[in-house]
A = this chain, B = another copy of it.
């Protein structure tokens, strides 16, 4: 129904959330990793992930002390997979998205324990 469609559309209408979704196309990551790549504070990243999760675009699991997020591959409502599909065919050449993915490659080289633990920012 229309409400669900609007929820999906709004979820992909924010730059930060699109960046998150494009990163999650590469795999599954925890809040800390996304914070580092996006250069944003924990509450911001967490809030955006919440919106994406509510929209059915991402799913999460607990792994040790971390929560890992990944793209959803289940039909949650009528449109979530449609939007993810559209997104996967877009933005391949976007400079910001490419920057993020470059940074991602650096981040995944680090053990998540090391990245997340030294809160010495």
Contact = CB atoms under 8 A, between A and B. Distances in A.
Interface of A: 1-2, 5-6, 9-10, 12-15, 18-19, 78-79, 82-83, 86, 89-91, 94-97
Name the prevailing secondary structure of the A interface residues. Answer: helix
Given A82-B90, A86-B82, A90-B82, A97 B14 contact: no
Given A79-B90, A82-B90, A86-B86, A96 B9 contact: no
Contacts of A83: 86
A25 to B, nearest CB: 14
Given A6-B14, A10-B13, A13-B6, A89 B82 contact: yes
A6 B15 contact: yes
